[in-house]
Amino acid sequence: MVKLAIIGAGIGGCSAAYLANKYLPEPDITIYEMMGRVGGRILTRHEEQLKLEMGATFFTSLNRTILGFVKELGLKIEKAAGSTDFAIWNGSEIVLNSNRHMMQTILELILRYKTSTARMLFTLREAKQQISRLCFVDGSGKMKLRLNPRKSIG
C-alpha cells in the first residue's frame, strides 16, 4: 500500500488523486485543502439561467490533458451561447460581454478599465494565434507540432 498526501484540491490535486487511484495498487490518499471545497481556482457560479465559469483558465482543442479527462470521465463540453469571447463579472452582474469584434471590445475595455485590460486582451489573442501557428490538432484529436510554423495557415 502506498500512502500519499496531496496538498490542494484544485485541478492539480484532484488529477493527482485520480491518477494515483488509477495507477497505484491500493493507495491511501489524503487530500489537504484549506478552502473547504474542491476546485481551487476553478469555480462555477449559477446565476439565474447562466453558468458562469469564474475560474482559472479556459481550454481549447489544443489542451490534450483536459480533453483526455473529459473523454475518459464521460463529461460533456458546452460551448458558450452567442458570440461571447469572454465576460467580466463584478460579483453580482456581468459588466462587459466581449465579442469577436476586436475594436468594439477594446473600446469598451478602455472606457471601463483604461488601457491595461485592453492590452491584456490583445496579448492573449496574439498568444493564441502564435500557439495556433506552432500546433494543430489532427483528425484523431492529437496535438501535433507544425513542421514549418512560418508558412501561412489555411
Q: What is the DSSP letter of 24?
A: S
**Digit-coded pLDDT (tens) for 34-83:** 988 888 877 777 777 766 666 655 566 777 777 888 889 898 876 655 54
DSSP count for the chain of H helices, then E strands: 4, 8
Q: What pTM value is reported for the model?
A: 0.49
Enumerate the H helices of 24-136 as residue ranges: 64-72, 102-113, 115-134
**Digit-coded pLDDT (tens) for 88-99:** 666 666 666 666
**Digit-coded pLDDT (tens) for 111-121:** 776 767 667 77
Q: How far apart are CA 98 and CA 109, in angstroms?
A: 9
Q: Burial level of 62, CB count in 10 A (0-12/13-18/19+)?
A: middle
pLDDT of residue 3: 94
> Which residues have C-beta within 8 Å of that of residue 73, sequence separation ≥ 6?
none
Check pLDDT > 60 for residue 152. no
Residue predicted with more confidence, 34 or 151: 34
Find the mean pLDDT for residues 136-145: 71
